[in-house]
Structure 1
Amino acid sequence: MRKLQALKLKTRMILVLGIMTVVQTGVIGLVAVLTLHHSLDEQIGQRALDVAKTIAAMPNVRSAVERRDSDYLVPLSLTLAEQTQARFIVIGDRDGVRLAHPRAEMIGYSMADDDGDDNAPALRFGQTYLAKAQGSMGWSMRGKAPIFDEYGEQVLGIVSVGYHLDQVALTITRYSVTLIVVILLSFGVSAMIAIWFANHFKQAIFGLEPEQIGRLFSEQRATLESVKEGIIAINATGHITTINRTAVVALGLPEAQPHVGRPIEEVLPDSAMLDVLQSGEPQFDREVRRGERIIIANRIPLRQGDEITGVVSSFRPKDELAEVSKKLTRIQQYADSLRSQSHEYANKLHTIAGLIQIGATDEALALIGQETKAHQALIKLLLNAVPDPVLSGCLLGKYNRAKEMGLLLEIDPESHMAERPANIPAEDLVTIIGNLLDNALEATLAHQGKGGQVFLSMTDIGNDLVFEVEDQGGGVAETEHERIFEKGVSSKGETGRGYGLHLVKGILEDLNGTIMLEPSPQGARFVVYLPKQLVTPGKPEGSRDG
């Protein structure tokens, strides 16, 4: 078995198809030879029997047998044997004694002595019959018929007509040679077909050997089960060919039930994979609602030449992607805050050090007091209005970044954000406020230049947390009010932009919050509403899965 596996696919197919052809042709040929042999025996036997009955019914033969006239019967039997192409014709009397025989020395002797068979069925019972035996003339097929008197009552003698079986053997030999030639030709044709089929088959499997395909299949299964993304594949008829465990868990499908081989519509009704199968157009980063969860799906058609043979869909829950985005955003915000604070305090320290070196101690003390007074006022406001340390740290960092940019972040002194419900993570608040303030600072700097202001107001009075961020960035065109929250859309028109507001919008949707864009005297105002009580609204089920 190992030696067979070591051979190339083409060699294996030639051997397998060749052996199958030889075996099939050989079995069919053997059956045909046996059938032909039996058929020829029957034909020769029937011919011998017909000739024997015809001779036995001849009146002149009957009369000569009654007279025991061998002189008449011998030449007659020889003539009849030549005419019927029989090997011999032997005529005997009622006692089985030969009256005519091709060999004169055998006349007068009993047919049973040398003919090798019993003549009793014909002589005693008047029956015609066939016999294959070796007699004085060798192996032959014999037809024996009784000779009756003119009334058909009394047996007068017997006629034995024999045909040699040499012709049968010769015919079988010729057929066997033909059969061997056919087997050899069939093997050659099978080898050619095997070569063509192997080449075509290997082209279809990219030149791989069966063992390589087996290893690749095992690797594929292990890879599919190890990735964190859900993966589903369907064939051209819409039946599932591959689905990994992550997909089963993410889609909430029963794990004990087999899904491979089932129609995709039966597993995931109204799946958009069928649209891709029909159109051949891939779909990327499509948001799909699955119950209470939202997943991000990619769907790519599989092609073999110009034909679409299936579709592969990979997806991950949106909350995982959003969590990664939020973490990256928070890290960026913390880095910006630290960099701004470091840069700002380095500048202040350099200025104070310079004033001290030139002896302007009063100015140095005044600068220190001014800086301390401004920060103390901000810190006091944050301590009273925003006791949450995460949110306070974010606002303090944005304040320092605004100063570094030459802008002023003004926080409404009437702001109050003491009650943060447990269902609203502080990290989500940081992401929302941080992105809005970053956008406002950049828009103000681009439109107003240094000296511009950004205003922030917060309140937790009532049933909602309300945040207002107002900039001096010149505003947003009314036609862009809806598009500004789409991924990749930015009023700055730069590549790599347009993700902050999209992320804010996604977090607010998860928290059942809303965001509104309003015009302000010098720019735009973003108003965020976050309900304190988390209520799961009814969501439409029309979205597609997979």
Structure 2
Amino acid sequence: MSGTTYTASVRYSTRVLLLQLATVVAVVAVCAGVFSWITYDRLRDSAADNATSIARSIAAAPQVREAVAARTGQSGRSDPADTPLQDYAADAAARTGALFVVVTDARGIRLAHPDPSLIGERVSTSHDAALRGEEVTAWESGTLGTSVRAKVPVFAPGTGQPVGEVSVGFRPAHVFSGLPKLLAAVGAAAAGAVVLGLAATVLMRRRWEHVTLGLQPEEMAELVRAQAAVLEGVDDGVLSLDNAAVVQLANSRAGSLLGVEDAVGRNFTDLGLPEDAVRDLLAGRSRDQVVVGDKVLYLDAHPVHRHGRPLGTVIVVRDRTDLTALSRRLGTVRALGGALRVQRHEFANRIHVAAGLLDAGRDDDARAFLREMEQRGPVDFPLVDAALLAEPFLQSFLGAKSVEAAERGVTLRVGPDTLVLGTVGPVNAVEDVATVLGNLVDNAVAAAAGGAAAGEYAAGGYAAVSRRELPETRGVSSRGEGARRAVGGPWVEVTALQDADSLVLTVADSGPGLVPAAGGVPVRATEAVSGPARGVAPDSPDSPDPPDSADHTDTPVDRVHGHGIGLTLSRDLARRRNGELWLIDPGGDGTGAVFGVRLPGVFATETSTETTDAVETTVTFRDDADGRGER
């Protein structure tokens, strides 16, 4: 905006002020002029009516009618001193304030006039209308000057024949004597209206400057163009909030990420975000690892000020789902790589031992050592009952996880109900199994190690799964026999079953079970798996510490991955394979939570049929008195 040059030398608000002021002055002037003209016209009409009334009363007087009728029949000049009509007319003019009262006969000869020297002479204006019996009012000029005058016929007594006229006139000064005061009042009112208009215009100008922040229309138009280009040209979501937290502006990307069709006009607290995240964002603090539906979002808050005045908050919404998923896959690959390195190193050491025994001629000891290595596997992972799991990938992966769990003082074991006869493949299936199983194991290890509930690590993620039994798995119990075995110290148990080409996993832990999350919102085990999962990972930088995890310190992997975020991703991966993730048992009262997951299509197709038959013929289940199955 600084590089834009505007040609207008006068500010827009000043131009509006001058235009409004000119409009007010013009309107007031027109109104005052019209009012003055109407008043002037009414004064003229009133004076004419007054003159007509006086002339009628004089013309109707009996002595006037008789005198005019008698004079009409005579000839010669009348004597003013001998004319009683002159005295009557002079007295009427004095009483009414008229300029003149003139009485004439039928020939227009004056019988009465303010100037006695003009009596007996013909009038200077026409008297024909009066002789026709008509009344006339007009502004005319005569011997006494310009005046408004009324001419009324005088009728002869008893006959009704016009025999003369009475003319009454008023001078203009008398007619418009009150007009100056009236015009002064009109002028004062007009001036007051102009002053009020000026004051209102100034207030409007100040309000305009306040509302527009001093921006000119050209600047606002360019801002709108730039705003549209920026909002629709970025891949991030953008929300603009006013000081009341009402969304004033939102691009389509923001609605897509938040799962809201029309956010404009709605309060920010009504968009379905967690309450603690909303509080932080409105306070100007950014939030990471916010789970909204099937997305992991980063919300960046930027308070906006202009000239020291707060204008609101701009919130940038970024999708971190793919980045989080990639980070988890990378963590899985690193774990597998570490396990392979350990395996290679340990295997090399054992080969050296076997070679040493052979070189020493101790063939029997070498054979025994190799048979033991064949039974125990190439590496001694701290995975309890690892022999129950023959599938190479699952055994290696859980072995690597058992090393991580052992570092945190947690025992990872394979459930006694485990039975997998096939081999996990291809590569995408291996990645999905590693991600889903790794997330569940990580959450369970964290819950068991820290004494915190799994629900606290899944703020919104665990709320998205439903409590139900394993689907279509022929009587698998919600908590295996191994999960009930007394073991000293925290533990996590993984049970794996193959059902055709599907892998069914259950993960149990010794934690306290699901309890209300750190934000105070309880995790509900009855919510549907298809329902929206909204929450914040409590291990994000801005989230509060879980109340029961004061002694727990997250590893770097925990800080990168985030516990309820992984559950959301695991749920999405299961859905993509037409599988599902659900809560089997929320735990509590000294027992941990149990989660189940079904992942179809992770085993080779050609082995699925024979594997199913083997499962059906080899494994049988019964329910004991506690409702937990035994093999």
The TM tier, using the shorter chain, reads: 0.5 to 0.7
AA in 2 matched with 1:506: T
> How far 1:98 sits from its partner (Å)?
2.2
**Structure-1 residue corresponding to 2:532:** none
**Per-residue deviation, 1:144:** 0.7
CA–CA distance in structure 2, aligned partners of residues 15 and 337 of structure 1: 78
Question: Map of 1:147-546 to 2, 5 A cutoff?
Answer: 147-169=154-176, 171-200=178-207, 202-203=209-210, 215-225=222-232, 226=234, 228-229=236-237, 244-246=251-253, 273=270, 322-335=321-334, 385=391, 398=401, 415-416=420-421, 418=423, 426-439=430-443, 458-462=496-500, 464-467=502-505, 475-478=510-513, 480=515, 487-488=537-538, 492-493=549-550, 494=552, 500-510=562-572, 511=575, 512-516=580-584, 528-530=596-598, 532=600
Indicate how the Cα distance of structure 1 residues 432 and 32 shifts in structure 2: closer, same or farther if over 3 A, else same.
same
In the aligned structure 2, how far is the partner of 1:104 from the partner of 1:431? 131
Deviation at 1:219, TM superposition (A): 4.9
2:11 is aligned to 7
Any conservation in 1 of the 2:51–2:149 contact (CA below 8 Å)?
yes
TM-score by length of 2: 0.56
Gaps of 5+ in 1: 265-270, 301-310, 356-360, 535-546
Greater percentage in helix: 1
Deviations 1:264-287 (A, max 9, x none): 8xxxxxx983999xxxx9698998
Q: Provide closer, same or farther for how the CA distance between residues 378 and 326 of structure 1 changes in structure 2, counting only shifts above 3 A.
A: farther
Matched pairs, number:
470
CA positional deviation for 1:146: 0.9
C-alpha distance after superposition, 1:95-131 (max 9, x if no partner):
11223333345433332xx33xx322211x2122212
2: CA distance between counterparts of 1:4 and 1:185?
32
Shift of 1:89: 1.7
Q: 1:223 to 1:394 in 2, by over 3 A?
A: farther
**Matched-pair contact (CA < 8 Å) for 2:52–2:150:** yes
Aligned counterpart in structure 1 of residue 102 of structure 2, from 71, 81, 90 = 90
**Aligned equivalents of 1:392, 1:504: Cα separation in 2:** 22
| 1:116-156 deviation digits (Å, cap 9, x = unpaired) | xx322211x21222122223322211111111111142222
Check conservation: 1:21, 1:183, Cα contact below 8 A.
Answer: no
What do you get for the CA RMSD once the two structures are aligned?
Answer: 5.9
Alignment of 1:35-114 (within 5 A): 35-65=38-68, 66-67=70-71, 69-71=78-80, 72=83, 73-111=85-123, 114=124
Q: What whole-Å deviation, never above 9, does each CA across 1:440-496 have from its counterpart, x for those lacking one?
A: 66788889xxx999776544234741235577xxx2125659979984359644477
Q: Read off the aligned partner of 1:181 and give its amino acid letter.
A: A
**Greater displacement, 140-149 / 432-441:** 432-441
Equivalent pair of 2:422/2:498 in contact (CA under 8 Å):
yes
Indicate conservation of the 8 Å contact 1:417/1:459, yes or no: no
Which residue is 1:20 aligned to? 23
Task: Give the residue type in structure 2 aligned to 1:122.
Answer: A
Shift of 1:212: 5.2
C-alpha deviation, 1:416, in angstroms: 4.5
Contact 1:230/1:250 (<8 A) preserved = no
1:275, 1:90 → 2: CA distance?
A: 98
Q: Which amino acid aligns with 1:505?
A: L
Q: 1:155/1:446 Cα in 2 relative to 1: closer, same or farther (>3 Å)?
A: closer
Cα 1:211–1:198 shift into 2, 3 Å: same
The letter for the 1-side match of 2:102 is V
Instruction: Indicate if the aligned counterparts of 1:340 and 1:401 stay in contact, CA closer than 8 A.
Output: no
CA deviation after TM superposition for structure 1 residue 88, in Å = 1.4
- Give 1:174 deviation, angstroms: 4.1
Return the alpha-carbon distance in structure 2 between the equivalents of residues 480 and 410 of structure 1. Answer: 24
Q: Give, in angstroms, the shift of residue 37 of structure 1.
A: 1.4
1:24 to 1:407, Cα distance in 2 relative to 1, 3 A: closer
Match of 2:468 in 1: none
Identity of aligned residues (%): 21
- Secondary structure in 1 matching 2:114: coil
- The CA distance in 2 between the partners of 1:106 and 1:165, in whole Å, is 23
* Displacement of 1:36: 0.9
CA distance in 1, matches of 2:445, 2:514: 22
- How far is 1:30 from its partner? 1.9
Query: What is the match of residue 306 of structure 1?
Result: none
Q: Taking structure 1 as the reference length, what is the TM-score of the superposition?
A: 0.64
Distance of 1:454 and 1:275 partners within structure 2: 34
Q: What is the DSSP-based 3-state SS (H/G/I as helix, E as strand, rest coil) of the residue aligned with 1:79?
A: helix
TM-fit CA distance, 1:87? 1.1
For the structure 1 residues 250 and 183, does the alpha-carbon distance in structure 2 shift closer, same or farther, using more than 3 Å as the test? same
